[in-house]
Structure 1
Amino acid sequence: MIFLNTLLDKGNENMNYIEILHTNDLQKLKEYLQTHDVNEEVQGGSLLYWAVYMNNTEFAELLINKGADINKIDIHGRTPLSTSCFFNFEDITSLLLENAAIIDVTCVERGYSGWNGQVQNETLNLLRKYGWVNLYLDDLRDIPEGFMGVRSIEEALDVFEDYNVHILSLDHDLGTNEKGELKKTGYDLVKYLCANVRRTANKIYLHTDNVVGRDNMYQTLLGAQRRGFIDADIEVYPYPFVKNRYSWKED
């Protein structure tokens, strides 16, 4: 909050809003809006941005009801929603989402690694309700915090039907079915996605220990990008996003 205190010390005419926000006086905000545009900017951020930054749900709700641009970015490219995701402000994030705030890559990214460097589970659960997840395909490993886990490519395909995927982390070998037959592999999923889903994810990690399978998946994804089958800006990494864990080995 150091930056906010700096704003209070400046003699700029627009600083009256920051003072009102700092004192949490809703009536004064209503009076302020009688002579000021609800979408005016203060030090590079909208009135709504600063209300979100201060986690002031009442101010944010009033500004939204008065017509504030809910997706207005500040001078650093941050939206009110990406800011609330970063700080894991659950109530104000819900308010923004209920009022059609746009979920972009930055929102999911900041929800995974917030102000304290931790996974913001409350934020990620809210984003999941509005169609965004991180997806982890593996038959044995622990599902990492902040990910939706699936154990087969059939389950994975169901997720792609219902959600946008930010981070996709893939295993190769997925074990056997009840008949002892090998299940389809992560490589089978990669081939399907490259042929049918142009925007598979924003980032793809390959956490498998199968060296040959990993290389097949990696080269197929890169080849699909070169040929225009999947988006060229998808980031593809031939290694895990987080350390692989097997809790059953610790028993």
Structure 2
Amino acid sequence: MTVNVFLDDYRHCPQGYILAKDIDECIDLLLNFSIAHLSLDHDLESKTRNGLMLVHYMVEKQLFAERITIHSANSGAGKRMFKYLKEAQNERKMPQSIQILLRPLPLR
């Protein structure tokens, strides 16, 4: 089964997506489903278990989606997540076919 996943502990989940409120829920979905679109926030309730930690884990464990969007309103952290994923592609640590987008969403 292919699903779309929205990682965020603050914003409302868009229709057609499964909400993951923390990186553990997101990892569980990555392990158990084929993900078409994964939309990621950086700032989560846990300050140490954030979106950047998740993208590092994804590359290390080779857990990906067909398309990944960084939607974090935290511009610096969102750019770090985006840059890390693009570098992983350039270093052939993740498939070149995965589309990676940086599209910050407002908090409200």
TM over 0.5: yes
Matched, 1:157 2:27: yes
Matched residue of 1:140: which SS?
coil
Partners of 1:150 and 1:237 lie apart in 2 by: 19
Q: Structure 1-normalised TM-score?
A: 0.41
Aligned positions of 1:2-151 closer than 5 A: 131-151=1-21
Q: Which runs of 5+ in 1 are unaligned?
A: 1-130, 177-181, 247-251
2:89 — aligned with what? 225
2:71 — aligned with what? 207
Matched residue of 1:214: which SS?
helix
**Larger fraction in helix:** 1
Select the structure with the greater relative contact order (CA < 8 A; seq sep ≥ 6).
Answer: 2
Q: Structure 2-normalised TM-score?
A: 0.93
Following superposition, the deviation at residue 244 of structure 1 comes to 5.0
Partners of 1:244 and 1:173 lie apart in 2 by: 13
Partners of 1:196 and 1:229 lie apart in 2 by: 10
Post-superposition, which runs of at least 4 consecutive aligned residues in structure 1 deviate over 4 A? Answer: 243-246
Matched, 1:174 2:22: no
Partners of 1:212 and 1:194 lie apart in 2 by: 20
Partners of 1:146 and 1:161 lie apart in 2 by: 19
The percent of aligned pairs where both chains have the same amino acid is 30
Partners of 1:239 and 1:141 lie apart in 2 by: 14
Report which of the two structures shows the higher radius of gyration computed on alpha carbons. 1
* CA RMSD after TM alignment: 1.5
Cα 1:208–1:202 shift into 2, 3 Å: same
1:186 — aligned with what? 51
Deviations 1:84-138 (A, max 9, x none): xxxxxxxxxxxxxxxxxxxxxxxxxxxxxxxxxxxxxxxxxxxxxxx21000000
The number of equivalent residue pairs is 108
Kept in 2: contact 1:168–1:201 (CA 8 A): yes
Matched residue of 2:6: which SS?
strand
